[in-house]
Amino acid sequence: MPGLTVEQIHQRLVEKFGDAVGPLSPPKKDPFCVFAVPRVRAICQFLKDDPALYFDFLEDLTATDHPKENLIRVVYHFYSYRHRHLFIAKVELNRTDPQVDSLEPLWKAANWMEREVFDLFGVVFRDHSDLRRILMPDDWVGNPLRKDYTEAGGYQGISNVRDNPLDLYLNMDRQVRAEQVAAQPPATATAAAPPTGAPKAEG
Partner 1 sequence: MALDQLLVTKFGADAEHEMILNMGPQHPSTHGVINFIVQADGEVMKRAVPQVGYLHRAIEKIGEIVTYPGFMPYTDRIDYLAAMFANEGYALAVEKLLALQIPPRAQYLRAISCELNRIASHLVSLGTMAMDIGAVTPFPYALRERESINDLLEALCGARLTYNYHRIGGVAFDMPEDWALLCRKWLDHFEKILDEWDRLISFNEIFVERLAGMATIPAQMAINYGLVGPNLRASGVDFDLRRDVPYGAYPDFKFKIPLGKAYAGTHRGGAVGDCYDRFYCRVLECRESLLIVRQALDKFPSGEFMAKVPRKIKPEAGEAQSRIEAARGEMAYYVVSDGGERAYRVRARTGSFLAMGIIEEVSRGLMIADLVALIASLDVVAPEIDR
Q: How far apart are CA 80 and CA 123, in angstroms?
A: 26
C-beta closer to partner 1: residue 80 or 100: 80
Gyration radius (Cα) of the chain, Å: 29
Minimum separation from the CB atom of position 123 to partner 1 (A): 14
Binding mask 183-202 for partner 1 (x = CB under 8 A): --------------------
Is residue 143 involved in binding partner 1 (CB under 8 A)?
no
Is residue 141 involved in binding partner 1 (CB under 8 A)?
no
Q: How far apart are CA 153 and CA 130, in angstroms?
A: 29
Q: What is the footprint of partner 1 within residues 27-66 (CB under 8 A)?
A: 28-30, 32, 56-60, 62, 64-65
Q: Are 138 and 132 in contact (CB under 8 A)?
A: yes
Minimum separation from the CB atom of position 73 to partner 1 (A): 9
Of 175, 9, 151, 172, the C-alpha closest to 80 is 9
Is residue 121 involved in binding partner 1 (CB under 8 A)?
no
Minimum separation from the CB atom of position 113 to partner 1 (A): 7
Distances (CA, A) of 102 to 3, 71, 86, 98, 171: 27, 18, 20, 12, 55
**Which residues lie below 8 Å from residue 37, measured CB to CB, with a gap of 6+?**
91, 92, 93, 100
Is residue 81 involved in binding partner 1 (CB under 8 A)?
yes
C-beta closer to partner 1: residue 17 or 46: 46
Of 57, 63, 19, the C-alpha closest to 38 is 19
- Binding residues for partner 1 (CB under 8 A): 28-30, 32, 56-60, 62, 64-65, 75, 77, 81, 84, 88, 107-109, 111-113, 116, 120, 130, 133-138, 144-145
